[in-house]
Each structure stands twice: as C-alpha cells, then as structure tokens.
Structure 1
Amino acid sequence: MSNMTRIAAWQCEPRPLDVTLNLGRLDDACAAAAAQGAQVLVTPEMFISGYAISRAEAERLAEHPGGTTQAAVAEIARRRGLAIVYGHPERAHSGRAYNAATMIGADGKVRGRHRKVHLFGDVDREQFVANSERPATFDLDGSRVGMLICYDVEFPESVRSLALGGARTVLVPTANMIGCDQVQEILVRARACENGIGVVYANYCGADAVFEYNGLSTICGPRGELLAQAGPAGEELIIADVPVEPAGTYLADRRADLYGT
C-alpha cells in the first residue's frame, strides 16, 4: 500500500434531470483525472440527477443498488482505470429516496455505500428520507476510507466515527450554497485536523433552479492543510496526493472514558 492516494475532486455545474448527459460528463472528467494519475474521482452531491429536483423527480430517478446507473458508472470506472465516488438518488424500501453516494472501484465493483444521515433544510427534508445507520468504513486498495454527504461532514461526530473505524480519508460529495463559505474555510479543515485524516469535499459551482453554489471544492491533508482548492466559480478538476498515514495525537489522547465514545 502506498502512503499516498491521488484523489480528484470534480467541481462542476449541475445539470438536473439529465442522467445520460451527466454520465457522459462523468466519463470525460474521469478521463481527465486518470490522465493526471488520479486513483479516485469524487463528484458533487446527487450528481447523476441534480440536487434540487423535487421529491417526485428524486423518487422517479431513484434506483435500487445494482441498477442501470450503477452499471454505467462501473463501466466508466473500468474503462478509465480509477475509482469513482458519485452522488445519486437511491430507492428506499418505502419507495422514498435516499440522498446517496456509492464508491465503485477501478475494477467496476462496489466498494462502499452511504446514505445521507443529516438532512439540511426544507429541500433535503422534502425530497429524501434520512439514513438511520451509522456511517461505515470500507477498504480501498489496502487503506480504509469513508463517505459522507454535504451536511454530514459539518457534524464532528460523523467524521470522528469514521476515523475511529479506521478511515484514513473521508470522501464528501456536496452541494454547498453561497453564503456558507465557513464550511470550506473552517469546518472541512477542522474535521481533517482533529481526526488526523484526509478530507475531500467536491462541490457544485453555478446554479440550478433553486440554489446558487459556492464552489471552493477542497482537498485537505491530515493536519488540516489545504492540498488543493478550487475557486468559487467555474468548473475545475482539483487533484492532490492525500497522505494515508496517521497524523496528530488527538485520537490517541482523547478521553473516551469521559465522553462515552
């Protein structure tokens, strides 16, 4: 296992409701990332369908795990030779939709899944049902990784839980809006530093019919250092070598006997 993973965060404009177009855009982005040696590419939140699309559209476009969209992304991953973390609506047993992210390895096989735990605002709560399961870590080429979605990463408990589960990197598809720059400027860096892990935060730029997004996609190292950051506007592919070796002493020195976790 290398002590670095080269990861790309793809900042792009949303193209709501056009799954075919978005799969084509994903293929192009993966080609560009692979040409620069990236081992993983992370898309924004709900990239496949668009984020603010209404409950009816989220449920219409939602698929069960193993559906046709997953198969299409798996084919891109195999052909381009890199792992992909992509945001998409996933069908729940109730017929509702989860706000989900899936990682598919370069071999086309699913490495892990996450359904958004913390729903933000009226749009999230109207469109999606919240996941009731604790975020889990999984293996990627000999290193443990985890996924969160947007608002999830703003809760210290979410990232700490993954770090305690062995995650060396947390990958975060997001749709953060203008006026919320403190997330990229403070919180993402703090989550990385306080857990001694890398955090990759892939955001939209531009706008859809509901929101204007603030870009600033960010890749942080395990001391909270900025390894790469996109601008506030415009599509951009940022790539950085993220250390997977532990950093800092917070996890080792924390008083779990006092905090109960």
Structure 2
Amino acid sequence: MTLPPLAVVAGTGFYDLDALEGPTEETVETAWGAARVVRGHWHGLPVVFLTRHGAGHSVPPHLVNYRANIRALADLGVEDVVAVNVTGSIDPDLAPGDLVCLDDFLDLTRQRPLTFFDGSGPEGVVHTDVSAPYDTGLRREILEAAAAVGQPMRDGGVYAAFEGPRFETAAEIRLARLAGGTVAGMTGVPEVTLALEAGLRYAAVSLVVNPATGVGPSDEPITMDEIEVVLARSRAAVLAVLDELVHTRATFATDDADQPEEPA
C-alpha cells in the first residue's frame, strides 16, 4: 500500500527537519512559480517538508509565494498538511512557549495574492467555503499526539494574520482582540485558504513566542532576540508532538498492511 506523503510546513526557527530519513531537496515547478521542498521518510512514512522563509530566513512573510508552495504540495500527492506558526499572544493568558491548535482565523493582510481562482482559468470565479478552515480530523490527531507526549496544548484559537514584516501596533492588536483573535502572526493566511482551494486537509499548531504589542509590559519592545530564546527552548516540544503524530500514523499504516485481504 502506497501512502500519500504528509506535508509539514513551518517558518521562523524551523528551517530543517532532522528526523527525516534520506532527505533529498527538490525544486517543484508550478504555474505559480517554483517551490523548494525536502522529501524523505519519518518513521517509515513519506514526508514533504517545506520551510516558508527559505534558507537562512531570506524571504519575508509578505513575499512568500504561498500559491507555489501549496500547489507544489498538491502536485506531489500530499493530502494532509500540518503547519507550524510562530506567533505573538493576543490572549494575555497565553505565555511564551504555549501551544495552540488553531480552529479559525482573521485575515488582516492587505496585498497578498489570496486565491488560485482569479477568474482567468477554466474554473472561472470560485467561492470557497471556510466554515471549518482547519480540518477536524487532523486537529484531533495533533491534540491526541500532544496528550500522548504530555505536552499541554490549547484546543482552539483564532489566528489573526497581519501583513508583516513589521510587528503589529498596540491598536491593531486591540482591534484583533475585539474580533476574537487569540494569537497574531504573519504567515497563516493565505496558506490555509489556498490549501482548502487545493483540496488539502490542513491544520496548524501555533507556538507562542512573545506577548503581542500592548499585551505585555508597555515599555518592553518586541525583539528577535527574545523570540529566538523562546524558540530555542520550545522547538523540541513542537517536534515531539509532530513525531508522535507521525509515529501513530506509521503504526496504524503497519497494522492496516498486516490485515489479511477480504475474500472476493
């Protein structure tokens, strides 16, 4: 039985995936441009790893080619995408190092290409339903994996997507909080909606690395140094959850392969 590859998409602080066995880098050409991925196996399962910001964090969030990235994953046969986003906390109850399994989003970006369907293709204009943007079954797998490794993770949260690369103002964060935002980030949209348009199941883990502007002490600026400190101590927790998720999938795949075929 050939299993479709699982995609892991990550950003700041996640530039490689050491767990991959036999990793090979590949450039996938799409109608929207090229996407660089690393393909390999994890617990024997095929995995495609994509880092949004490229080598050395060379691509800012507003210039990530989200359409090429998602189209490349779909063209490689991916059906499920697990994303990792590094975020600031809008909810003051979330502390640096906390994890959130997202269930909704706010799009506060302004100038990004947001769709595969601009009206010029044979599909014409397409209106995609986003009532459940993060796949329920994939979210459950993530939450169960977190529980299995003893990693606390909040079940549900609203990702407020800002343009970047600058951090948000205190007024912008107040606006997002009024609209129900839980965490603030710069890369979650349009990635999630493009995945839906491409027919992929998508779920995302948000790693909180700092209080958003105005949430923490007002005289403390947000710096990449503080973010890097939190990433250094929290990256392992995210990878442990992903490792358990993949291991569980591998176990079920092996069990299914060992089942005798039903007689015709």
Higher-Rg member (1/2): 2
Q: Same fold (TM over 0.5)?
A: no
Kindly indicate whether structure 1 or structure 2 has the higher relative contact order, using CA contacts under 8 Å at least 6 residues apart: 2
